Structure 1
Amino acid sequence: MRHLRVALIGWGAISRRVVALLSERMRRDIVIVAVAVRDIEAPRDGLPEGALLITRPEELGNIDCDIVIEAAGRCSIESWGTVALTEGCDFVISSTSAFRDDALRDRLTALAEERDCQIIVPPGAIGGIDALAAAAVLPLDSVEHLIVKPPAAWRGTPAEASIDLDAIDKVTTFFSGSARQAADLFPQNANVAAISAMAGVGFERTRVTMVADPYATRNGHRIVASGAFGKLDVTIENEPLATNPKSSELTALSLIRLLENRVSPLVR
Structure 2
Amino acid sequence: MTSLRHRGGRDMTLGLIGYGTIATELLATLQREVQAPLARLVCLARPEGAARATALLDRHAALATDRRVVHRTTDLAGLDLVVECAGQDALRAHGPAVLTAGIDLIVASVGALADDAFHTALRDAAVHGHARIHLPAGAVGGIDALKAAQLAGLDDVLYRGRKPPAAWKGTPAENLLDLDDLDGPRVFFTGSAGEAARSYPKNANVAAIVALAGLGFDATRVELAADPAIARNVHEIEFRSRAGTVAIRIENAPAPDNPRTSLGTAHSLARAVLNATAPLVI
Residue 79 of structure 1 deviates from its aligned partner by 2.6
Equivalent position of 1:236 in the other structure: 250
- 1:251 matched to 2:261: no
Letter in 2 for 1:52: R
Residue 38 of structure 1 deviates from its aligned partner by 1.6
Q: 1 CA distance for matches of 2:206 and 2:26?
A: 18
Please point out which of 189, 201, 204 is paired with 2:218.
204
- 1:164 matched to 2:174: no
CA 1:151 to 1:32, structure 2 compared with 1: closer, same or farther past 3 Å?
A: farther
Regions of 4+ moved over 6 Å: none
CA 1:19 to 1:32, structure 2 compared with 1: closer, same or farther past 3 Å?
A: farther
Residue 104 of structure 1 deviates from its aligned partner by 1.1
Residue 226 of structure 1 deviates from its aligned partner by 0.5
Structure 2: stretches of 5+ with no match in the other structure: 6-10
More deviation in 34-43 or 94-103? 34-43
Residue 12 of structure 1 deviates from its aligned partner by 0.8
CA 1:41 to 1:101, structure 2 compared with 1: closer, same or farther past 3 Å?
A: closer
TM-score normalized by the length of structure 1: 0.94
CA 1:217 to 1:83, structure 2 compared with 1: closer, same or farther past 3 Å?
A: same
Q: 1 CA distance for matches of 2:174 and 2:219?
A: 26
Is the CA contact (8 Å cut-off) linking 1:9 and 1:36 kept in structure 2?
A: yes
- 1:46 matched to 2:56: yes
Equivalent position of 1:154 in the other structure: 168
Q: 2 CA distance for matches of 1:267 and 1:29?
A: 20
Q: 1 CA distance for matches of 2:39 and 2:119?
A: 28
Letter in 2 for 1:13: T
TM-score normalized by the length of structure 2: 0.90
Deviations 1:82-134 (A, max 9, x none): 21111110011111111011111112112212222101100000010010011
Q: Percent identity?
A: 41
Is the CA contact (8 Å cut-off) linking 1:4 and 1:262 kept in structure 2?
A: no
Deviations 1:4-45 (A, max 9, x none): 211000111000111112223344354552111123565323
Q: 2 CA distance for matches of 1:197 and 1:264?
A: 28
Is the CA contact (8 Å cut-off) linking 1:147 and 1:221 kept in structure 2?
A: yes
Deviations 1:30-77 (A, max 9, x none): 45521111235653233243321112212223xx31111111111122
More deviation in 139-148 or 106-115? 106-115
Equivalent position of 2:36 in the other structure: 28
Q: 1 CA distance for matches of 2:127 and 2:186?
A: 44
Residue 262 of structure 1 deviates from its aligned partner by 1.8
Is the CA contact (8 Å cut-off) linking 1:40 and 1:53 kept in structure 2?
A: no
